[in-house]
Every structure is written in C-alpha cells, then in structure tokens.
Structure 1
Amino acid sequence: MTNRGASSSSAPFTKSWKYHVFLSFRGFDTRSNFTSHLYSNLRLQGINTFMDDDELRRGEEISNTLLTAIEDSKISVVVFSKNYASSKWCLDELVKILDCKESNQQLVIPVFYKVNPSDVRNHRGSFGNALANMDCNNVEKVNKWKEALSQAGKLAGFTLSDE
C-alpha cells in the first residue's frame, strides 16, 4: 500500500469513529424485520451501530443529529427497499453517505432488499416511479438524488430476494 503523501489523505485513517456502522433504511419497509434483525446482530457482535429513531424525524429537513452520525461512522450500510426512493429523507441521507465515502473514505455497503441493483442504478421500477412522482421543485436536489442512486447502484453489495 502506498502513502499518497498529503496529510489530508491520511486523516480518515486516524479519525476517531463514534460508530462502527450507520444504518440507512426506509422505516416502514424494513424496520420491523430485516433492519431490526441486522441491528440486533451487529450489536450482539459488539459493533457500535447507529440506527435512527422515529423521534429524530420531526422536521422536513434531515437533522443535524443524523448528519453527524453519518459523518462519525466508519461504515454505512444502506438497505435499499421498494419504497426507499419515495423518502426525501432517505435520499438526503444517501447523498450525505456518498459525500462521506469520498471525503472520509467511509465504506458504503448496499443491501438490495427485494429490489434489483440495476433498478436502483438506472432509476427503474419503484425507484423511477418515486423520482417521477417526487414533489420537489428543486431540480438540483433531484439531480443529486439521481446521481447518488446511480453511484450506489454500482457498488458491490448484497442482494436479498424472496427466492
């Protein structure tokens, strides 16, 4: 492994992480099943995991608490489910997670829960429908969401299906 020389490039390796894992997911899709089981098992293994609470979602905008938790996590696990893209909150989280992937060299692991990675990547199926029906007049923001979905859909991860 080569050292790139710049002190800023080594900063992520010396960073003190508050959480090992940040879980991003669409609550009503997976909170009571897959995500809660994943969270419990990570915690049982001694992995400090941040899983948001419904109480954090009081406003329309993503909260500073959540932004800080994303920044303070070494790994983000993004659980893409059928309704993930219908949530502006989830899409804002995804943009922040991918920003941290670049700036902090955070590891991002996608889990495609009963969805096809190519639907995420190419905005098809429920992902395309959600974006097309999104009530957002901010074209720049919608373009960021689309780019984030495209990038995340290209990452190596896990695909879980009904079969």
Structure 2
Amino acid sequence: MASTSSPSSSTSASSSQVWNHDVYLSFRGEDTRYNFVDHLHAALQQRGICTYIDIESLPHGAPIAKTLLKAIQESRIVVVVFSENYADSSFCLNELEHIMECKKERDQIVMPIYYHVDPLVVRKQKGTYEEAFAKHEFQLNDKLESWRKALEEVSSLPGWVLNKDLYR
C-alpha cells in the first residue's frame, strides 16, 4: 500500500515526461518510518507535493515489488533518507541501485538526506555500512559492487545532514 496525492506533470531537460508523483521517499523503515519520514511526508503533503511513500513493511530480503519500481520511475524527485542501518537492508540497496539507474535514464533529481549518519560513512562504506557489507558478502556477493557504486554516486550529490549531535 502507498499513500499518494494527485499526479503532476513536468518537463525534463531531455524530453517531455509525465510524472505521476513529485517525490518518492526512499528509506529504511525500521530506522525512520515512524519519526523523521512521517514528519517529512506530512510536510510535503501539506504543501501540495504529490508524494509516494511505501507504508507497508516488507519481509526481510523481499524483492522490490513491481509497484515500487514503477513508482520510482514515475517520480520526478527521489529523496533517499540514509540512516545508520540503511545498508543492512538488501532491499534498500537494491532500491537505491534502481533509483540511480533511473536518475541516469530519466533525468530524475535525487536528493540524499543523512539522518544521524555521516555522509562519508555512506560514501566510503565505513562503520555500520562496512559491517553491513561484510554480512552481505556471504549471501549476495554478486550485488556488492553495484551497491557500492550506487552509494558512492548518490553520496556525491548535494544533500542534507541531520545529525543527532545538533539537537543536544
């Protein structure tokens, strides 16, 4: 299930496209669903921004649903909320890989938000990201390189850092 507002259309620099969503929110549900992402989603909707958010928890290791792939492709902007345990989820990493492919192919805007995680941890896959990749190495070795590349690409884009140390 997903929550959406009314569709919009936008013109891409390379071609004219109809976008069914202004924004697609990508995040690790366990880390941010019931706090930051809920607030972000509500704020976007209050401003009339058509936002797609997956509101169902998916089983661990589940493949990306076709409806989510389609929603990503039909969104003008994708906001990726990186959290400390984002890389633990192969689902999130597969979704990110698809997002970065769509960015290249469809001229989408991708905006990273670093929620209580340092952008360098994401870019260099250090700390909890390094630990997650070590776990994935035993199960999904064939995906590691494409996930690393997607993380490096997205973390080189301009974004926002929301650090828990700022709120003390």
Q: Which residue of 2 aligns with 1:155?
A: 157
Letter in 2 for 1:10: S
Q: What TM-score, normalized to structure 2?
A: 0.86
Could you tell me which of 89, 92, 117 is aligned with 1:87? 89
**Equivalent residue number for residue 37 of structure 1:** 39
TM-score in terms of structure 1 length? 0.88
Equivalent residues in 2 for 1:1-40, closer than 5 Å: 10-11=14-15, 14-40=16-42
Structure 2: gaps (5+ residues): 1-12
Match of 1:121 in 2: 123
Give % identity: 41
CA contact (8 A) 1:136 1:142 kept: no
User: Deviation digits for residues 5-54 of structure 1, max 9, x if unmatched?
Assistant: xxxx722xx11000000000010111111000000000000000000022
Q: d(CA) in 2 for partners of 1:157 and 1:138?
A: 28
- Greater strand fraction, Structure 1 or Structure 2: 2
Runs of 4 or more above 4 Å deviation: none
Q: Pairwise CA RMSD of aligned residues?
A: 1.5
What are the within-5 Å matches in structure 2 for residues 70-109 of structure 1? 70-109=72-111
Unpaired stretches in structure 1, ≥5 consecutive residues: 1-8
Whether 1:52 and 2:51 are equivalent positions in the alignment is no
**Contact 1:85/1:91 (CA < 8 Å) preserved in 2?**
yes
The one-letter amino acid paired with 1:70 is: I
Q: Distance in 2 between matches of 1:150 and 1:10?
A: 25
Which residue type is aligned with residue 69 of structure 1?
A: A
Aligned residues between the structures: 152
